[in-house]
Amino acid sequence: MDSLSVLVDRHDDGGMYALIRSFPAHLREGRRRALEADLTWPEDPAQVVIVGMGGSAIGGDLVASMARGSSPVPVEVVRGYTVPGYVNARTVVIVSSFSGNTEETLSAFDEAVARGATILCVTSGGTVQARAEAGGYGHVLIPGGMPPRAALGYSFSVVATLAERLGVLAPPDGAWEEAYALLDAQTEDLSNLEGNQALDLARQLTGAVPLVYSGNGLMEVVNLRWRGQIQENSKVLAFGNVFPELNHNEIMGWTYPDAFIGRLAVIVLRDRADHPRVLRRLDITGELLQDRAALWHEVHSRGESALARLLATVNLGDWVSYYLAVTRQVDPTPIGLIDALKTALG
């Protein structure tokens, strides 16, 4: 059997290993750019709407998740062609498109402009940059030349920093420094091709159908990111759900058919801030179902601040999806079916 380093050399033509390893550096640089950007907005915005798709939207999802319990105004993420009916002159719309050419995001951009909203753009170029410069809209440019999902460090840190400047997100003092330190150490560990936690989990997922469970708090969006990364990087279908809702319906789906259930590999993302009753539900559900699954693996978030716990768990999932790809001898970077769909759409 080929060593992991040989598999990486042979099957990572797109350089995804280096991009995931650069996640902490991308976070630092994105935050620097957002802090230094010369931007203006209304003193008392009524709401913040983040529009984007795929890898460009997930950063907004993570920010909205962190802001949910403390923001004085609603923070909503829109994945689609239209903005909510409430968008008006008191709304700040953050347009997040890595390429700058995302069809759905450009449509929502146009709608937000027509409604008189304040526009802030996060992009590496393309039509979004051109429109921002032509219209005088505030914008933060991030580096291009990588898959959007690999640019999360930039897109998250820019949107999070904009949210801080807008007054809708307030991480505790030292949270960013803690996140950087934790991610630096974790990157050294998880990039070790001699063996690490992410590689071990990836090997356990080989040949199974990943099913990601979490509470409906901080880990809910991390759950979505794990599934998206497994799907795009590993080219494997992945599914998921959240507590407590799944206890009211999906749990019964574990009854039949036995042959399919026996192929499910469950990854449970746990966080110390999950509601106490959700934690109890996680425990009981595991007792009821783990003997039916091919794998029942629990991941406990690491770190003190919500920011550190969020980013470290996201980063772990990125590494798991990477190792699942290369150990299956699949290049994690190409997205052939997505490219074919875009071509067919014209």
Task: Quick: pLDDT tens for 37-89.
Answer: 999 998 889 999 999 999 999 999 999 999 998 899 999 999 999 999 999 99
Which one is catalytic: 177, 245, 287, 342? 342
CA dihedral 218, 224, 225, 229 (to 10 degrees): 160
Q: pLDDT confidence of 1, banded at 50, 70, 90?
A: low
- Residue 241 CB-half CA count within 13 A: 13
pLDDT for position 346: 86
Q: pLDDT confidence of 258, banded at 50, 70, 90?
A: confident
Which one is catalytic: 111, 164, 178, 232? 232
Angle between helix axes 103-114 and 126-135 (nearest 10 degrees) is 20
Amino acid occupying residue 11? H
Average pLDDT, the chain: 96
Q: pLDDT confidence of 112, banded at 50, 70, 90?
A: very high
Known catalytic residue at 232? yes
Known catalytic residue at 342? yes
Place of tokens 């693996």: 297
- Residue 128 CB-half CA count within 13 A: 31
pLDDT for position 107: 98
Q: What is the pLDDT of residues 223-257, one digit of tens each?
A: 999 999 999 999 999 999 999 999 999 999 999 98
Phi first, then psi: give them for residue 334, nearest 5 degrees: -60, 145
Q: What is the pLDDT of residues 286-330, one digit of tens each?
A: 999 999 999 999 999 999 999 999 999 999 999 999 999 999 999
Q: What is the pLDDT of residues 10-46, one digit of tens each?
A: 999 999 999 999 999 999 999 999 999 999 998 889 9
CA dist 100 and 264 (Å) reads 38
Known catalytic residue at 248? yes
CA dist 239 and 228 (Å) reads 9
CA dist 332 and 18 (Å) reads 12
Q: Peptide bond before 257: cis, by omega within 30 degrees of 0?
A: yes
